[in-house]
Amino acid sequence: MQYIRGMESWGGSGAAAVTLGKFDGLHRGHLKLIERVQSYAGNDIKSVVFSFDMVPFFKEKGLKKKNLMTSEEKRLFLEGRADCLVECPFVEDIYTMEAESFIKEVLSDKFHAKYVVVGTDFRFGHNKRGDVHMLRQYENVYGYQLDVVEKEMYGTREISSTFIKEEVVKGNIELVEKLLGRPYFVAGNVKHGNMLGRKLGFPTMNIIPSEEKLLPPNGVYICSVSAGGNIYQGIGNIGCKPTVSDNNVTAIEVFLFDYEGQAYGQQIEVKLLSFVRPELKFSSVGELQERVNQDIENGKKYFEKVR
């Protein structure tokens, strides 16, 4: 998959099937759009996921908002699912562009769109004047075919990034997995820790999540980890390790049941499967060790049940 940061870097001369949105989390509803746009690809038509990156906008407006996915996680997940990911920073030039200008200058002139795939509530342009009705109005003018895809539902509620964020904050990891269609994951490069886990008999991998990443409540989770092209079972802790550290840096520390070797500097994906317990401050390292051994046993029992 080709990755492009900023639409001004797009140099494609052929036609495209384009889907547009913020795509935060790439949940089941988003995947419907991407699968549909991919179905139009071929015969010199590229499938393009045009994603608005809201982080610059949040910073500009002084908003402290978190995302379900970082840019890097979005790239990782979309690999093999689209021909091209265009990540467009949501800056003033974009959010002040008139909707009609966006259709002409971006969809038509820039991407030579032959197919435009959006959800029913897609809005764009200055003051969000653009919608599916406007896209339909200009369909014949610019020679694209509009495909409006209905929302995915969970019970009586539409699946949305907002819905999923609510459940992540509550720690409802199993429900989040149902809404996403896959486990919630955090990607990062393995950092050197204080080596305490190794001394206590359970060596861990440590990653520092991006500041923009929305995390569930601190605590111990059953997880699976993608590392070096393989998937491993284990347990992980989200938090600041209050028993052995007095800093407030949030990290994810995972122990894998059947992993041997060094992973420093390697990128891994930690998939959160089930909440075990909240993060605790123990009275001693020995008490911590005893509880972690119990957590490991609970984790192994979990995987025995789901096999």
pLDDT tens, residue order, the chain (307 aa): 999 998 877 776 789 999 999 999 999 999 999 999 999 999 899 999 999 999 999 999 898 899 999 999 999 999 999 999 999 999 999 999 999 999 999 999 999 999 999 999 999 999 999 999 999 999 999 999 999 999 999 999 999 999 999 999 999 999 999 999 999 999 999 987 665 555 555 678 999 999 999 999 999 999 999 998 899 999 999 998 655 565 678 899 999 998 887 788 899 999 999 999 998 877 777 888 888 899 999 999 999 987 6
CA atoms within 13 A on the CB side of 196: 13
Helices 173-180 and 161-170: angle between axes, nearest 10 degrees: 160
Q: Are strands 205-207 and 251-256 parallel, antiparallel or unpaired?
A: antiparallel
User: What would be the CATH architecture of the domain defined by 2-157?
Assistant: 3-Layer(aba) Sandwich (3.40)
User: What would be the CATH architecture of the domain defined by 183-306?
Assistant: Beta Barrel (2.40)
Give the integer Cα–Cα distance in Å for 51 and 81: 14
pTM, rounded to two decimals: 0.92
CA atoms within 13 A on the CB side of 47: 18
Give the integer Cα–Cα distance in Å for 143 and 133: 16
Q: Are strands 153-154 and 157-158 parallel, antiparallel or unpaired?
A: antiparallel
Give the integer Cα–Cα distance in Å for 204 and 199: 10
For residue 107, give the DSSP letter: I
Q: Is there a shared CATH topology between the 2-157 domain and the 183-306 domain?
A: no
Domain parsing of the chain, residue ranges:
2-157, 183-306
